Amino acid sequence: MNMSGKARAHTNIALIKYWGKADESLIIPMNNSLSVTLDKFYTETKVTFSPEYTKDILVLNGEEVNEEQSKKIYQFMNLVRERSHTSHYAYIESVNYVPTAAGLASSASAFAALAAACNEALNLNMSDKDLSRLARRGSGSASRSIFGGFAEWEKGHDDETSYAHAIDAQGWEEDLSMVFVVINNQSKKVSSRSGMSHTRDTSRFYQYWLDHVDEDIASVKEAIRNKDFKHLGEVIEENGLRMHATNLGAQPPFTYLVPESYEVMDIVHQCRKAGYPCYFTMDAGPNVKILVEKKNQQFIIDALLKSFNKEQVIASDITNTGIEIIE
Ligand code: ADP
Ligand code: DP6
Ligand code: CO
């Protein structure tokens, strides 16, 4: 008998970044992180287990992924087999409604959707907490994509204690949106995984990062409680830049940012000067994400469209929907 399940998970963008692992194999992070889950970008994944398969196969966006690039998937599926006492291999069909490996968090929606699809296919009846722990093993940021709205990944200290949960923002997320400026949607040269590992191991600024991230988490939670957009924005912008500064302190140094990234940062500053509060953040790629109140979204978009074309500027609501079983 074939066992199958299909799930959808949305990407999330960290406002306070996860950057560095305490345990590379279990994916335990060095610090807590906090994100918003986005309506526009998601992954849909169907997984089918069968005794007839002789290996795991991933078909991503209609194309079979080669063995070299499927290593993360094989490891993840081995974990699923271990905990479900199944020996069957799986056929995985996944579609990313987000550019893959471009610093737009495809790994987050991908492994959250895969965890949920496996849970469904194998009737594992996992709680959201356990799904978050499982998704984490595929990609750290995926632990947060189990949930909608604001989510915090508690770093914990082992496999049991490291997982994300939703943060109640009393509906504030409905007033906010994120504007994406897609500078490059091609696959990046330095994956999040290798970038953060190199930085954690060699950056002269890494300890400084660790020394301040707990304060940032506390400030963001306070800003959410008070629905204080200016406070929220100031903290997240600083935190994101500090993450990128750690990369410049690595030996050898590197950066994900390009001239256009700085151009967008400058436009954000100009919008603020003009009286429209908005704040940027960047991940492991050159693309810039701008957090803004919906009432000011159009002003920001218009400002961006003076320098970028329509296809490059994408606005997304924050969704309250976590993982969903579809079909
Ligand atoms: P991103 O910024 O997109 O999260 P990462 O470097 O963190 O980039 O992760 C990209 C990797 O995630 C891809 O190379 C691939 O291994 C994996 N991935 C992305 N989408 C999927 C998917 N739908 N199914 C399985 N694996 C995926
Ligand atoms: C900069 O979750 O993609 O986007 O755990 O190695 O798969 P792995 O890395 P990943 O890293 C995301 C890094 C980030 C910040 C964040 O999302 O918190
Ligand atoms: Co990723």
Rg from Cα positions in the chain: 19
DSSP 187: P
Cβ atoms of 94 and 106 closer than 8 Å: no
pLDDT at 187: 82
- C-alpha 120 to ligand 2 mean position (Å): 25
Q: Whose CA is nearest to atom 17 of ligand 1?
A: 107
- C-alpha 58 to ligand 3 mean position (Å): 18
Q: At 75, list the tokens.
A: 């490891």
Q: Which of 13, 106, 282 to mutate to test the pocket of ligand 1 (most atoms within 8 A of CB)?
A: 106
Q: Whose CA is nearest to atom 3 of ligand 2?
A: 192
102, pLDDT greater than 80: no
Which residues, listed in sequence order, are joined to residue 154 by a DSSP beta bridge?
A: 163
23, pLDDT greater than 80: yes
- C-alpha 7 to ligand 2 mean position (Å): 21
Measure the CA–CA gap between 203 and 24, rounded to whole angstroms. 17
DSSP 188: P
Q: At 274, list the tokens.
A: 């003009």
CA angle 65, 67, 73 (to 5 degrees): 75
Please identify, by atom number, the ligand 2 atom nearest to the C-alpha of residue 108: 2
Q: How confident is the model at residue 186 (pLDDT cuts 50, 70, 90)?
A: confident
Say which ligand is closest to the CA of 94: 1
Q: Which of 100, 109, 139 to mutate to test the pocket of ligand 1 (most atoms within 8 A of CB)?
A: 100
- C-alpha 66 to ligand 3 mean position (Å): 19
pLDDT at 99: 83
User: For 116-168, how does the pLDDT look when each residue is reduced to its tens digit (9 = 90+)?
Assistant: 999 999 999 999 999 999 999 999 999 999 999 999 999 999 999 999 999 99
309, exposed or middle or buried, with CB in 10 Å at 0-12, 13-18, 19+?
Answer: exposed
Average pLDDT in the chain: 97
57 lines ligand 1 (CB under 6 A): no
Mean pLDDT of 105-115: 96
pLDDT at 131: 98
107 lines ligand 1 (CB under 6 A): yes
Angle at which helix 128-138 crosses helix 106-121, to 10 degrees, equals: 130
Ligand 2 contacts (CB < 6 A) are 14, 17-19, 27, 33, 105, 107, 139-141, 192-193, 283-284
What is the percentage of the chain residues whose pLDDT exceeds 90?
95
100 lines ligand 1 (CB under 6 A): yes
1, pLDDT greater than 70: no
CA angle 136, 142, 147 (to 5 degrees): 110
pLDDT at 121: 98
Measure the CA–CA gap between 263 and 139, rounded to whole angstroms. 30
Measure the CA–CA gap between 64 and 46, rounded to whole angstroms. 14
- C-alpha 138 to ligand 1 mean position (Å): 10
Please state whether the predicted TM-score (pTM) of the whole model is above 0.95.
yes
Which residues, listed in sequence order, are joined to residue 277 by a DSSP beta bridge?
A: none
185, pLDDT greater than 90: no
- C-alpha 272 to ligand 1 mean position (Å): 34
User: For 205-251, how does the pLDDT look when each residue is reduced to its tens digit (9 = 90+)?
Assistant: 999 999 999 999 999 999 999 999 999 999 999 999 999 999 999 99
Sheet containing 313-317, strands listed edge to edge, beginning at the edge strand earlier in sequence: 278-282, 288-293, 176-181, 313-317
